[in-house]
Amino acid sequence: MHDRQIEDWLKLAGGKENIKLVEHDKGTTTLVLKDSTRLNLSVLTTTDDMADIRVTGEQCHLAIRDESLLIYNTLLGVGIGESTGAVLQEAGHAKKNRFSILHFVSDVFMPLMPVILGAAVIKIIVAIIALMDTYSSADSSALMDSQTFTIFRIIGDSVFYVLPVLVAISTAYRLKSNIYVAASIGGLMFYPEMTMLMSGEKEVHFLGMTLVSQPAFYSTAIWIILTICAAAYLERIVDRWSPKFAKGMLAPFLTLLIVVPLVLMILGPVGTWMDEYLPEALDSLVANAPVISVMLLGAVFSLMIIMGLHYWMLAIIMNDMLMNGSSMVIPAMLVAIVGQAGAALATALRSKESASRRVAFWATGTALLGVVEPALYAVNMRKRSSFYATLLGGAAGGLYFGLLSVKAFAIVGNPSLVSLPLFSEEGSLNLLHTCIGVVISLGVSGGLTYWMAGRKLKQG
């Protein structure tokens, strides 16, 4: 029976030559595989044993419950994972010492990519139909006003609406904490009474602290992830010291009672300060130094998305449209998003792992068409060099836009290649300069990423 079980695990892993490291921790034996595509999942249908399969970037981990160390000792006994084990363990310790919040955030988003990409394609199709309707001479308002079209638009938006909950669950899963508590934290801002409270009709105060009326700010991925990390840490401490009769009950209670209010008390004043000073400062910068401001916005807009500060851009854009009939902020957003696409494309071309390459190609397409999350979180945040390249690409395109005074003449949520007609102005070269700036941003971010990835491959 024992030999048959080992044989099943080896078949599942794609053969012993596909195992590069065997580790054991807390009753679990983990096999680190060389090639995830060689997994033989059909084995799971013929055995009662359970395995946790996790693909992280170019690595695949196969975790097996092994309280008695039977599987671990047997595999090491026949030499599997032994020859490279010490070297890989040292690399693992080095990796832990070089912990990167960017890489961790990317790891959180990787399992969510299929559903995000699926919803992104629906959103893009709906946006293209809406744009075609806007510029069509035929009267197709019946389609745009139909409930069917509205429902399809809602289907595309629904995943992004509940994204904080999905991010919270994925974070808790990685940290091995309570996913149901995490989902509750992620969904805090969806609670109807909380939404009404945050509507902006009146000031909101919590324990003496003013909370900014921007629910999306609190639900931004980075703050959700950090909150779940704090919750997981508190959960472990409480579980360690909890009496037996309170095990499993005390940790969720204290997590919700302590962590959530603490996060609100930290983010509330920060958001209030941003709400008071950020729009005014950016508005003043755009008015007095348009070239520098567009270049800086092109560079830092991706960072603003990560920190949830991009929601404050709408007030500036609306003010520009009312005062001037155009906006220089939207072009800066465009080159920042295109910069993400360029780096994702270069990553796809350089990657040797089929799963990562596939995600990167899809992320490139969705970013160019206005949905930036896959490229930003799942591809470019995995490597600092790629992420920095996106910032430089946005800055280069923003500098060109600032020098040529490129403007957008209509408000759009996430500018993309689909929204290029909104940059057209009769009697000017504004649309041509927009296209040139897009190419500059794409080329700089993509070129830098491709070059730096090539240097790493040579050093490796």
User: Is the model's pLDDT at 339 over the cut of 50?
Assistant: yes
Q: Is the dihedral of CA 78, 84, 87, 93 positive or negative?
A: negative
User: Does pLDDT of 366 surpass 70?
Assistant: yes
121 contact partners, CB below 8 Å, separation of at least 6: 366
Q: Which residue type does 459 have? A: Q
**CATH value at residue 74:** 3.30.1360.60
* pLDDT above 60 (res 57): no
**b/e map 61-74, b = 16+ CB within 10 Å:** bbbbebeeeebbeb
pLDDT score at 301? 93
* Residue 259 is assigned to a structural domain of this protein: no
Identify whether 443 is part of a domain. no
Domain containing residue 76: 2-98
**Residue 68 covered by a domain:** yes
Assess if residue 63 is contained within a domain: yes
State residue 360's pLDDT score: 92
User: Between 315 and 420, whose confidence is greater?
Assistant: 420
Q: Can you give the pLDDT at residue 96?
A: 45
Over residues 389-409, the pLDDT tens digits come to 999 999 999 999 999 999 999
Higher pLDDT, 1 or 196: 196
CA distance 111 to 130: 30
Query: 410 lies in a domain?
Result: no
342 vs 269: which has the higher pLDDT:
342
Average pLDDT across the chain, whole number: 82
Predicted pLDDT of residue 365: 93
**Does some domain include residue 93?**
yes
What is the percentage of the chain residues whose pLDDT exceeds 70? 84
Residue 386 lies in a domain: no
Kind of pairing between the strands at 59-65 and 204-206: unpaired
- Nearest 5°: the CA angle 268, 274, 275 is 85
pLDDT score, position 437: 95
Q: How many domains does the chain have?
A: 1
12-45 tens-digit pLDDT: 777 777 787 887 766 677 878 777 677 777 666 6
Indicate whether 106 pLDDT > 90: no
Q: What is the DSSP letter of 25?
A: E
Residue 318 confidence (pLDDT)? 86
- At residue 86, the pLDDT reads 39
Rounded mean pLDDT of 206-224? 85
State phi, psi for 452 to the nearest 5 degrees: -70, -35
Q: Can you give the pLDDT at residue 425?
A: 87
Q: Is the model's pLDDT at 71 over the cut of 80?
A: no
Map residue 106 onto helix, strand or coil: helix
Q: Is residue 335 part of a domain?
A: no
- Asked if pLDDT for residue 101 goes beyond 50, the answer is yes
**Of residues 459 and 286, more confidently modeled:** 286
Query: Position 29: which residue type?
Result: T
Strand 209-211 and strand 204-206: the pairing is antiparallel
What's the pLDDT at 136? 65
The answer, yes or no, to whether residue 4 has pLDDT greater than 50, is yes
For residues 219-231, average pLDDT: 91
